[in-house]
Amino acid sequence: MHTILKKRVIHLRGKQIVITALSSLLVLGTGLAISADQAKAAEKKSVVNVTFKPSDENELTDYVYNTVDPTSSQYHQYLTPSAFADKFGQSDSYIQAFQDYLAKYHVQAQAFPGNLSMKLTGTSTNLQKAFKAKYVPAKKKGYHPTTSYKLPGQLSDKVVAVIGLYSTNPNKKTKKTTKTATKAKKTTKKSATHSDTTTLSTTDTKPNIKYTGNAFSKKYGAAKFAKAYQVDDLYDQGLEGSGQRIGIINDSDVRDADMLTYWKQAGVNDDISRVHHIYTVATQAQAQADLNKSISAAQMEATLDAQSASAIAPEAQIDLYTAVQYGTKTTLTSAFYNNFMTAVSDNNDKQITTSMAPAFETKSNWPDPSASLSQYSHAFNLLLEQAAVQGITVFKASGDRGPYALSGAKENHIMSTSPYEVEVGGTTLPYQKIIDGNLISVNKERAWGDTYSRPAYDTKYSSFAGGGGGFSDINPTPRYQIGVPGVNTFRAMNYLTFKNGKYSITKNPHVITGTKTGWNLPDVAGNADPLTGYASIVSGPKYTFNPETKKATKANGILWRIDGGTSFTAPQMAAANAVMNSGRQTPIGFWNPQIYKYAQESDSPFNVLDDADFNDNLYYTGQPGKLYNQATGLGTINFNKLYNKFNNANN
């Protein structure tokens, strides 16, 4: 995962690529273009989402757990969105009343299948009028702005959250600026439009493309993952994801040409008809115009997700759900929710993965004035509960900065730390390399937390990397984690010190032990270290910036690279799930209650990483003898054993 903040600067081990937005809109090789009038009209539109209360939330949660409980009569009794609406959604009459009310304000309202939420489209002015919304500025530093709104009583009683009513402070005065300043503002705004993800861990290492087919895959791709985690045993049984679809949630389009180039290099099924582009906010033309401005971190993210998943499950269909905001006034939070809800309510994909997130889970940095952090989290949990009831397994990358998603001294994570998804952490595979003149050896797989390979470089750029993990501040410990050894206890080392906005290595770190509560994350882990990473490829306009001359140069081309991050691991896990599902009659469904049970059995499918030393995610270490550790969760997976566990669950 990658975090894209005010400035999009990607450090490439001694270089900098600054990816900026240009004013010209080019659509290469597509025949699609946006007229000035169309763009102007689109900019007036916003997508806002409303989440409703389920008819009985406690009953919904129980049903979620019952679908994966072999002792329950509801075991694997997954519901269609229509059946979900009948059992847990709001009534059709309520939905119609909401639509009729909004129509008076020229707002289009479309209920997502399941009747748990609604997509609203209209101008910001009409949307705000419909909700009688009032922007309330932050009271003081450290607080975030809020929104007061009012709906007719019969409508408001069943609303959980209204997401995305305000994209900016409507009271902020616009100052006159020079053309240069205006251009700079546009560039900064563009840099902030893509979802916050975890920071892209990038190296300047390129794969040797003289390797092709299986040789390339073993060194840089799917075969490497398959061998490490016994997916190849499933391949030997003829399972490759046939009949399955994998949904990928992203906020950039992907070039089909990049998919084909990667597949041909890695010897993967190169039938491009298995890739499907679904545009949920901006139009296809707008999304491709955005794509053709420059190679962006969002494009890299979306592309590597698609390449990773499609290679692990070479016979599966790939559904790319794309929530580009370009040409609209839709907020990050609304775009992300809308994109995810579309995928869930479409109900085509029995595994969904994302390496994207709309924000950090910190109240002081929460960006949506109309839905608080707790309201948004509640809405997102309900969305994921609907997914679970439909038999969908959701995977999410845990992050690439250890327990510090947003730089600071305190632990924080990226949205969402929901207990209804599989949070995927990171590890480092064994390796031995000479780096900056030093011999670096990792003798066995460990938690990904790198303070040792390039300490001087990482101190200079404050770029220490590690798998996300720790404790959720906003979601309590779920029932499936209660009583599992290691849950709600921890062992840690203060390896890093945060001062003056940067991290440095602590001179004399010490052991910290204790207890905490909240959802413990991640659930599982897999190779995510760039030094033992995977290859991916993107193409398009590229801008390099020379800080000395302060000039940027443009070049269109192809960028091969070896990267790491839980962004690779989450889609790989989702694809492995598709491989398993391709050998089953019913979907595996909600993993978590099942895998925490299996982890406590004598023939566990997990390799626990519980070492106290040289096994951390920049803070949390293993807890010797414990099944769960916040650096790597339950550990790495033997997918052949896990497949057998799922298949024998009701025996």
Instruction: Say which amino acid occupies 366.
Output: W
The per-residue pLDDT for range 356-387, each reduced to its tens digit, is 999 999 998 999 999 999 999 999 999 999 99
In angstroms, the CA 573 to CA 550 distance is: 42
Query: Band of the pLDDT at 526, cuts 50, 70, 90?
Result: very high
The per-residue pLDDT for range 72-92, each reduced to its tens digit, is 999 999 999 999 999 999 999
Torsion of CA 397, 400, 406, 408, to 10 degrees: 140
Q: Are strands 275-279 and 317-322 parallel, antiparallel or unpaired?
A: parallel
CB atoms within 10 A of CB 110: 10
Average pLDDT, the chain: 90
Instruction: Say which amino acid occupies 108.
Output: Q
Tell me, what's the pLDDT at 340?
99
In angstroms, the CA 285 to CA 289 distance is: 6
Tell me, what's the pLDDT at 171?
64
Tell me, what's the pLDDT at 70?
98
Tell me, what's the pLDDT at 6?
31
Q: Which fold has domain 9-30+185-647?
A: Rossmann fold (3.40.50)
Q: Yes or no: say if 133 and 118 are a contact pair by the CB < 8 Å rule.
A: no
Q: Which of 131-145, 156-170, 599-613 has the highest mean pLDDT?
A: 599-613
The residues facing 351 across adjacent strands are 246, 393
Task: Give φ, ψ of 270 to 5 degrees.
Answer: -105, 35
Query: Band of the pLDDT at 24, cuts 50, 70, 90?
Result: very low
Compute CA distances 362 → 142, 168, 358, 416, 515, whole Å. Answer: 10, 19, 12, 11, 21
Residue 34 pLDDT > 80: no
Direct distance between the N- and C-terminal alpha carbons of the chain, in angstroms, rounded to an integer: 38
Instruction: List the domain boundaries for the chain.
Output: 9-30+185-647
Average of pLDDT values for 303-330? 98
Tell me, what's the pLDDT at 36?
42
The per-residue pLDDT for range 149-161, each reduced to its tens digit, is 999 989 999 999 9
Residue tagged 């938690």 (tokens): 447
Query: Band of the pLDDT at 173, cuts 50, 70, 90?
Result: low
Q: Yes or no: say if 39 and 327 are a contact pair by the CB < 8 Å rule.
A: yes
Q: What percentage of residues in the chain have a pLDDT greater than 70?
A: 88
HSE, side-chain direction, 13 A CA sphere, residue 145: 19
Task: Output DSSP code: residue 509.
Answer: -
Helix ranges restricted to H, 104-231: 124-130, 153-156, 179-191, 213-220, 222-228
Residue 164 pLDDT > 60: yes
Compute CA distances 185 → 22, 69, 166, 192, 554, whole Å. Answer: 11, 53, 19, 11, 20
The per-residue pLDDT for range 228-278, each reduced to its tens digit, is 999 999 999 999 999 999 999 999 999 999 999 999 999 999 999 999 999
In angstroms, the CA 523 to CA 351 distance is: 16
Tell me, what's the pLDDT at 168?
67
DSSP track, 40-102:
HHHHTEEEEEEEE--S-HHHHHHHHHHTT-TTSTTTT----HHHHHHHTS--HHHHHHHHHHH
Average of pLDDT values for 496-505? 97
Least confident of 297-306, 379-388, 551-560, 623-632: 551-560
